[in-house]
Amino acid sequence: MREIDLSIVAYQPDFALLRQLLSSLAEPLDPPARLNVLIHDNSPDPEVTARLKALPELQPGGAFTRIDVQHSGANVGFGCGHNANAARGTAPLFFVLNQDCILEPGAIAILLGHVATDPANVAAWELRQIPYEHPKAYDPVTMETPWTSGAATLYRRAAYDDANGYDEHFFMYGEDVDLSWRLRAKGWKLRYVPRAGIVHRTYSTPDEVKPRQAAGGVFASLSLRARFGSPGRIAEGFAMLFAELTRRRSYPGRRRSLLAAYLRYLWHAPHFLLTRVKANEHFRPHFAGWGYEIRREGAFHELRSWRDVPVRATPLVSILIRTVNRQALLREALASCANQTWPNLEVVVIEDGPAFSRAVVDEFRDRLNIRYKATGERVGRAHAGNLAMAEARGEWLNFLDDDDLFFADHVEVLVESVQRTGLKGAYSLAWETHTEFVDASRAVYEEVLHVTRHQQRFDRLILWHHNYLPIQAVLFHRSLFEKLGGFAEDMDQLEDWNLWTRYTLENDFVLVEKTTSKYRVPAAARVAAERQALLDRAYEDALERQRALALTLSPRAISEMADAYVRSQAVMMVTRNDLRRFVGSHKWLASIASWRQPAKEWLRRRRIVR
């Protein structure tokens, strides 16, 4: 039977919220596990510790095998508190949790499943935060992440001890990045497990400015640069701090708190400089401003908890993959499907030609509801896509090219969007990933650059001019295929643009402003130019096909579309109506305007103006 030490550092806790956390931890497990609750209370008042010990959830005979609540006597900080809990624990798994989070149903069982199947060099498994997922990018195939959050991460005890736990020179903020980087430098791997989640309502409003977090972030960044960064990165940190001090105040006492963080850093700098960690084959630090990773857009896209919606509609979604003898890339695409958080999914793979990829598909039969069909002879991309749509059983359909990838929340985010809006299609932001292939047959490549090429809100006129819907970014209702048909089978390029044009003549789609997928384009200039030449030739053909399409619109609808199009293309546009509304809303401007016509008449009578 598995045993886990549950580590909670408390400070003036919200007891109602803490009881919800303990109740979520106490939910039945299958298979069962021994759970030990270790609480280190940093509250100054020992009465808080006494109240913690008296909680009904922490009484003997309940769900927890062992209960140990200690009072520190002072607020010693986040990392120090967890280290104290680790010293009192003995279980092979050490689960670090914030006092203000609540586990999603089945989270521990999902984590234990990963512990059982992941390689022994995986040190930690991070849970997804709800409603706001941390936007750091991760590998959608391996689910490796650059660092794991201290809000909710399960550590392998051997790895935690190998790194000597959290560095207690961090009081709060940054200690989780530091521990993650030290683990990676020792060769340990870190995993992100978005199917296991916590509700962690740390922001009262999106983009909320937190004074303590701002100051803690400055100290953390300077300290991490001192330990892991080059002299140039250290100097960059000082320059960033100077820039922050010259910016407009975003909260009272901002400059004072940032200067205090800087002085605190100077006091601790010798410790970090004397314990420097060098980059190696396993680890290279990444500094991006005040962050430590490449970030996906959509940090404040709100995710729903399964506890908030007890009866949640989960329609079947079909992922449609066309492939042509590219097994290694197909394997990665399928892995990104297997990692999806959406619970009701099927994958339809159509191979254009002989059944080269059957063995790869068979590898995923225990992880995916998957079907495979090979055409035997080459029939073309468009025909293969139509076969995939005909084979699909899902209410919602989504294409994925065999060299593209989904992030784990892709399907979930799009389905929730169409459920919320009632529309028949949704699309999200996607990374255009410039890729240099070393060996495509083994999926050996380097991702050189990520660009969010399209951030266009739905607009028909713009879509008629050029395609801003990457094929893998779009989820659409199967009724569109049943009513309007599939790809034009005599097209081999831009067949998806033609499809979206027909599907949106009478149906609106909605943009979800979160990066949930990535599609590859060649990084090499010569290959990119050849690819663009093919698209340019196909563009003229696609335009001619648009001439055959017809749409019935009222004059007013056409006027509104044109107005929206012009606005979207202009840096600044002021119409006559805009000017009238602006003038009418200011009394002194309106009074001046009221004299315009009488003055003009007076001048005309005197033949000063015509």
Chain segment 430-462, per-residue pLDDT in tens: 999 999 988 888 889 999 999 999 999 999 989
pLDDT at residue 313, rounded to an integer: 86
Distance (Å, whole) CA 60 – CA 69: 13
Helix, strand or coil for residue 453?
coil
Chain segment 123-139, per-residue pLDDT in tens: 999 999 999 999 999 99
pLDDT band at 577 (very low <50, low <70, confident <90, very high): low
Predicted confidence (pLDDT) at residue 194 exceeds the cutoff of 70: yes
pLDDT band at 491 (very low <50, low <70, confident <90, very high): confident
CA dihedral 370, 376, 377, 380 (to 10 degrees): 0
Do the Cβ atoms of 287 and 230 come closer than 8 Å?
no
Distance (Å, whole) CA 504 – CA 303: 27
Distance (Å, whole) CA 510 – CA 135: 21
Query: Quick one: which of 297, 95, 125 has its CA closest to 195?
Result: 125
Chain segment 360-396, per-residue pLDDT in tens: 999 999 999 999 999 999 999 999 999 999 999 999 9
Residue 139: exposure state from Cβ atoms within 10 A (0-12, 13-18, ≥19): middle
Q: Mean of the pLDDT values across residues 5-9?
A: 98
Q: Mean of the pLDDT values across residues 147-155?
A: 97
- Residue 308 has which token pair? 């908030």
pLDDT at residue 566, rounded to an integer: 65
Chain segment 63-120, per-residue pLDDT in tens: 999 999 999 988 999 999 999 999 999 999 999 999 999 999 999 999 999 999 999 9
pLDDT at residue 533, rounded to an integer: 77
CB atoms near residue 476 (< 10 Å): 26
Angle at 203 between CA 198 and CA 209, to 5 degrees: 145
DSSP H or E segment with residue 255: helix 254-274
* Measured CA distances, 380 to 323, 489, 540 (Å): 10, 8, 20
* Measured CA distances, 248 to 91, 191, 245, 438 (Å): 49, 38, 8, 47
Burial code (b: 16+ CB inside 10 Å, e: under 16) for 272-291 equals beeeebeeeeebebebeeee
Residue 599 CB partners (closer than 8 Å, separation 6+): none
Do the Cβ atoms of 430 and 470 come closer than 8 Å?
yes
Angle at 73 between CA 15 and CA 100, to 5 degrees: 25
Distance (Å, whole) CA 232 – CA 393: 55
SS (H, E, C) 474-504: EEEEHHHHHHHCCCCCCCCCCHHHHHHHHHC
Chain segment 304-349, per-residue pLDDT in tens: 998 876 667 899 999 999 999 999 999 999 999 999 999 999 999 9
Distance (Å, whole) CA 245 – CA 214: 12
pLDDT at residue 610, rounded to an integer: 47
Chain segment 221-235, per-residue pLDDT in tens: 999 999 999 999 999
pLDDT at residue 350, rounded to an integer: 98
For tokens 């990045």, what's the residue? 177
Mean pLDDT for all residues in the chain:
90
Beta bridge partners of 319: 347, 398
pTM: 0.88
Distance (Å, whole) CA 345 – CA 336: 12
pLDDT at residue 282, rounded to an integer: 93
Chain segment 504-550, per-residue pLDDT in tens: 999 999 999 999 999 999 888 887 777 777 777 777 777 778 777 76
Q: Mean of the pLDDT values across residues 4-20?
A: 96
Which runs of consecutive H residues, i.e. helices, occur in 301-448? 327-338, 358-362, 381-391, 410-421
Angle at 348 between CA 344 and CA 353, to 5 degrees: 170
